[in-house]
Structure 1
């Protein structure tokens, strides 16, 4: 009886995973698309191939698994990955977990239970925590309320880092302060706005994270975290790709942008708090949490990650601080049934060198998102960058030296700090079998380019997994 039922069960599992991985694709077979078409498909901005890049046939984009996909073996995976993991560019220690997404069988384990610095692969856990705590449809509000005096308007931050000042903004489809200002003017009627009070008290004082390198803000990787900002704390509405100059006073800068939309002088912008029971004059809301999660994962957006973690804190009645967010995330991840014994959190973006995560926890989290009983977590896969096509992997998997054979069939979250290179995600192997993986090189040599030799070596490991039948 069990032998007769197994093919039906396997087909059901494969269909479930394929639906998760290939929700954008209508056909069951491998779908080939031009790079810009893939960008539109994934919700990413159009991006042309770089000048001078040789024209090659498009690789399959998340090629669909067939119902006859053969299960890999642990010995086969070891034979494929072993030589690649001995690359000196990875450094002295690379911790690895590879798991069959259909059966949950761990196929490769190299110190997968060791707690090490995860860098930005930590954002996978942040995504699951906020999707569980707030739900995919939750939106972050930015409100304007009446101040204590006539003509006084209080701008109350609700923790939306994607808020923009107007049409020119970093995040597409974000809420806009000029539209909030229009609501306020209508609500005030004949009373002219004269003063803007900035209330960013929801998260407490603006702060940088414990364990962050001293140049995180000056290098443009993040701004101080506060409940009110525009464009993720950027000084200009630059695109979300890569680093951008950041302001040390994101809440006051947002207040000045709001004042300009109201016709109020910048000198009339002051910090403060909203009076209790103040009348609401206007409200704008962020895109839903599932879209914010996609933005965070695709571009590895540190500020979005930290603000989402504070939503986990608020949902669990914790203060909206780094410590409150860390405590709440650990609680929620435990509620999801994930093993958190080896988890140490100091932030939610992975910028902190005090964080500790096991590769096994990362692959367990990815497996959780595959399961049909957690449909609220599925958006994690649509947010993961695709090798050679989108997000932080758009410029990787482009050459033979960094695994271009796996372009389009590796989808993963990257992570990098000096001495740490990491990647965790999902790959479809040569037989169409989906495998989840986490590779963390925790003693990597210093960066020597973009991408670095260590990152390219990790890409070759992931490509080796994707190109392997591993029987």
Structure 2
């Protein structure tokens, strides 16, 4: 039995006896064989959320092609969608395609690319994985090196952008304790885990200054934001050198003056390092002094999907690359994610992955792939993938769907029963997710458009209309 996606906080999927909840403090996920390394500074976990979803009748009637064609056929070919809309509607229970219009045509997915990124990182890293930010001893006594592990949610202090993020002030306190009687004198920083360009070449020229993306670096705070606050439209000014900014914030928390410098080559050992001998004894260069760790991967995926966070998406793509033993670069990430798509058995014809966020106009995928991925995630065959649903925005409730479905009839039909990722680039608009029909059947859908000339508001309304029609239509 499947459970309807009508709630906000929890997704529960019953398939082959499987029950999976929204990201939370699941003991089996959060265990850590830390060995002798310093104990990470981690905030207390949230209390487990309670189920808030109603039951879905697994025997609910299945829409058929004729009914779907009658209901959404004209909407799909609406000029407001540019006349080149690629659409697939798939039954989640059986996995069968119920409706397709150019469903196998590779199209620019915009931010719906994040569905692939979410699945890839959950499949490779697992829901429990946490990303460390470490401090190791520098070349001389009192010198320390801040080592970025690729956590995009790292905060400076209690005023973090991301709830539950690891914090530099706590890392600084743990570092001082590890140094014992040795006063910190200089801060170096190392962000070499990520390689290659910090912006993907296929991005529009305004991305670096547009406030919705930022440089991809292994060391950053608050998603490279210059302040943990953002405007109502989601705009956030970003640092051009996030690693340097993070190091300055750490030095301030540590009470060290002067400007931090990049770590000397070879000064950061690869892999776990030995613990300090004793507070009173000497500390060898490269010894790990302290660490903090990000929230579990399930939370990071949620942050990425709910508000379509591009910086988090690129960090997640690099985690896939690291998990597959490839360079943590755009090239390494796209090779790794393409490999994972194949391992998941998804239809990959025409697939081109340039980045993890969908900002690149060279990205290409099909609605066939997206709906197959959503059906797989909901099936319970890969339980770690089910966690991606917790991050999908809910119509008229959360994230990028909070203020969508503006027309009264669409709003009434879609509110609470459409859970989807949206995507927008100039000329390209998209929506992909799941919807519960009026009869209680769970469907996966993907709508990718190209060559759109209508306004963004007009096009979004056209997409909303299709999703709302699927919700209110038995389509039989």
Coarse TM-score class (shorter-chain normalised): 0.7 to 0.9
Aligned residues of 1:222 and 1:302 also touching (Cα < 8 A)? yes
- The residue that corresponds to 2:3 in the other structure is 18
- The residue that corresponds to 2:125 in the other structure is 134
In the alignment, the residues of structure 2 paired with residue 324 and residue 209 of structure 1 have an alpha-carbon distance, to the nearest angstrom, of 12
Listed as ranges, the gaps of 5+ residues in structure 1 are 1-14, 29-40, 44-60
1:254 matched to 2:246? yes
- The 5 A counterparts of 1:299-314 are 299-314=307-322
Choose the corresponding residue for 2:370, options 358, 362, 370: 362
* Displacement after TM superposition at 1:192 (Å): 1.3
Listed as ranges, the gaps of 5+ residues in structure 2 are 14-21, 25-51, 274-285
| 1:299-333 Cα deviation digits (max 9, x unpaired) | 11111111011111111110000000000001111
Structure 1 length-normalised TM: 0.86
* Displacement after TM superposition at 1:243 (Å): 2.2
In the alignment, the residues of structure 2 paired with residue 268 and residue 107 of structure 1 have an alpha-carbon distance, to the nearest angstrom, of 58
Choose the corresponding residue for 1:435, options 432, 438, 443: 443
- The residue that corresponds to 2:148 in the other structure is 157
* Displacement after TM superposition at 1:185 (Å): 0.3
- The 5 A counterparts of 1:304-453 are 304-400=312-408, 403-445=411-453, 447-448=455-456, 452-453=457-458
| 1:434-470 Cα deviation digits (max 9, x unpaired) | 000000111111535xxx1101110011101111011
Aligned residues of 2:118 and 2:301 also touching (Cα < 8 A)? yes
Q: Secondary structure at the match of 2:121?
A: helix
1:280 matched to 2:272? no
Change (3 A) 1:139 1:79: same
Change (3 A) 1:228 1:268: closer
Choose the corresponding residue for 1:181, options 152, 165, 172: 172
1:298 matched to 2:290? no
In the alignment, the residues of structure 1 paired with residue 140 and residue 72 of structure 2 have an alpha-carbon distance, to the nearest angstrom, of 68
* Displacement after TM superposition at 1:343 (Å): 0.6
* Displacement after TM superposition at 1:270 (Å): 4.0
* Displacement after TM superposition at 1:291 (Å): 1.0
Aligned residues of 1:256 and 1:269 also touching (Cα < 8 A)? no
Aligned residues of 2:413 and 2:472 also touching (Cα < 8 A)? yes
**Which is further off, 394-403 or 213-222?**
394-403
| 1:341-364 Cα deviation digits (max 9, x unpaired) | 321011010000011101100001
In the alignment, the residues of structure 2 paired with residue 397 and residue 301 of structure 1 have an alpha-carbon distance, to the nearest angstrom, of 21
* Displacement after TM superposition at 1:272 (Å): 4.3
- The 5 A counterparts of 1:9-158 are 15=1, 17-18=2-3, 64-158=55-149
Change (3 A) 1:152 1:347: same
* Displacement after TM superposition at 1:90 (Å): 1.2
Choose the corresponding residue for 2:190, options 185, 199, 202: 199
Q: CA RMSD in A?
A: 2.2
In the alignment, the residues of structure 1 paired with residue 91 and residue 349 of structure 2 have an alpha-carbon distance, to the nearest angstrom, of 23
Aligned residues of 2:436 and 2:442 also touching (Cα < 8 A)? yes
Greater per-residue helix proportion = 1
Aligned residues of 2:406 and 2:461 also touching (Cα < 8 A)? no
Q: Secondary structure at the match of 2:388?
A: helix
* Displacement after TM superposition at 1:240 (Å): 9.4
Choose the corresponding residue for 2:210, options 219, 224, 230: 219
Query: Across the two proteins, how many residue pairs are aligned to each other?
Result: 424
Q: Secondary structure at the match of 1:217?
A: helix
In the alignment, the residues of structure 2 paired with residue 402 and residue 453 of structure 1 have an alpha-carbon distance, to the nearest angstrom, of 14
In the alignment, the residues of structure 1 paired with residue 230 and residue 159 of structure 2 have an alpha-carbon distance, to the nearest angstrom, of 10
- The residue that corresponds to 1:168 in the other structure is 159
Change (3 A) 1:398 1:135: same
Aligned residues of 1:22 and 1:64 also touching (Cα < 8 A)? no
Q: Secondary structure at the match of 1:357?
A: coil
Change (3 A) 1:407 1:266: farther
Structure 2 length-normalised TM: 0.85
In the alignment, the residues of structure 2 paired with residue 25 and residue 330 of structure 1 have an alpha-carbon distance, to the nearest angstrom, of 29
Aligned residues of 2:247 and 2:260 also touching (Cα < 8 A)? no
Aligned residues of 1:259 and 1:269 also touching (Cα < 8 A)? no
- The residue that corresponds to 1:9 in the other structure is none
| 1:345-395 Cα deviation digits (max 9, x unpaired) | 110100000111011000010011012221111111111000110011111
